[in-house]
Amino acid sequence: MVGAGRQGIATAGYLAAHGARVAITDARPAEQLAAARQRLSAFDLEWSLGGHPSSLLDLAELLVLSGGVPGELPLVQAALARGIPVSNDSQLFLELAPCKVIGITGSAGKTTTTMLVGRILKAMEGKQINRAWVGGNLGNPLLSDVDAMSATDLAVMELSSFQLEWMTRSPHIAAILNLAPNHLDRHASMENYIAAKARILEYQTTDSTAILNIDDAATWMLASRARGRLWAFSGQVLPADTLGAYVRGDAVWLRDEHGEHQVLPCAEIELIGQHNLLNVVAACAVAAAAAAPLEAIQSGVRAFRGAPHRLERVRTVNGVDWYNDSIATAPQRSEAALRSFDQPIVLLLGGRDKGLPWEDLAKLARDRVRQVVFFGEAGGMLSAVFNRLAPELPNALVPDLESAVQSAATAAQPGDLVLLAPGGTSFDEFVDFEARGERFRQLVNQL
């Protein structure tokens, strides 16, 4: 098991509990992994910390990777050279799950859409299905729960490109929400990134369903790879011969084998932003493809206010609204956040760059932002980009998130909105986007 993060701990525990001899290797030193070792203390495991010695492969029959482990790691390359199979927790789960599984991927909106589908499935419990399970990349590795599942259950899982690039199983229902440049620091090219995402369709059968965003050209180009039913979702009316979910007028509609049905008015959706409306439409298509009744879909969508750190309102201070969109770890996600508001914005931008283009965001900010505060490792680079493309836009350059909040608090005026939509990852200062969002909340609540 390579990596003792959340996925690694869950996978090592499952395999050890089922009789496997498990060795865990992590590049971090022992003092940083005390909590992980405590959680696995009931099992007789071999720990190799501070590096990844190739001698671990001498007895290995399977190499299992946590999501953040790159294929270029020498240990992974050595395993492949020896013919040792490489897998991950999601692959193992799909091999073992007794029930049908829904998989959702995309460059943005995965967690929100997966949570929405999960809410809809929960509304089906005790009626159309026995029990709903929600997990994957958004938090809970479903491998931990697989022994409690039955054939009459239904599971939905979020899948990242990091997980998909190793998988040789596809979920029964697979959705790709969108494809935009992301994680190019890991995948090296857009072609590699799309290839990883497309694997969610590659191992489907004629009994499977693929659900794709017809509005997104890069995503819809994968329609030819669908092996079973093909459904679509759209922010406008679907072509007449296409099944799926869409927006018509001021409502969300569904078209299935039985005709067209209004799901609910857009005014009843509590999520902010056009991108979130599309996430709702996608969730409706996914749930309907899984035979969810209209009442369950409506119940799941209504009153859903979103996942933490995703356009999350923190508070209003001195007439200024503060919003946490720490999940915006790519420039395109920051663009979507900017388009979600009409009031003047003070934008907090920074973190660690992923090698993605920032030019479109700079041009959009020129029209929608009153001031930008750059922070973190990418701050200096972003300052140079914005000063070149939007020289008239006031900006400040500060070292870290705490300084950024203080700078924004000074700059913001009553009626403004301060938006943390960094566009970069959190790894220059925090372990993940959630930790960054929590710290942002804490700093704002201290104002």
User: Which residues are known catalytic residues?
Assistant: 110, 137, 183
Q: Are the C-beta atoms of 412 and 447 separated by less than 8 Å?
A: no
Q: Are the C-beta atoms of 89 and 114 separated by less than 8 Å?
A: no
Which residues on adjacent β-strands are paired with residue 106? none
Q: Are the C-beta atoms of 218 and 179 separated by less than 8 Å?
A: yes
- Residues in Cβ contact with 402 at an 8 Å cutoff, skipping those fewer than 6 apart: 439, 443
Helix (H, G, I), strand (E, B), or coil: what is residue 331? helix
443 residue type, one letter: L
Antiparallel, parallel or unpaired: β 86-87 and 63-64? parallel
CA-CA-CA-CA torsion sign (416, 314, 140, 97) = negative
Tell me the C-alpha to C-alpha distance, in Å, between residue 209 and each of 92, 101, 212, 292, 393. Answer: 21, 11, 10, 14, 47
Say how many C-beta atoms besides its own lie within 10 A of residue 338's C-beta.
21
Give the 3-state secondary structure percentages of the chain, helix then strand then coil, rounded to 5: 40, 25, 40
* Closest to 275 measured CA to CA, from 232, 221, 233: 233
Encoding tokens for residue 38? Answer: 């405590």
- CA atoms of 251 and 122, how far apart (whole Å): 23
- CA atoms of 132 and 340, how far apart (whole Å): 31
End-to-end CA distance of the chain: 44
* Closest to 115 measured CA to CA, from 91, 140, 94, 88: 140
Provide the angle, in degrees to the nearest 10, between the axes of the packed helices 331-338 and 359-368: 20
Encoding tokens for residue 80? Answer: 């492949």
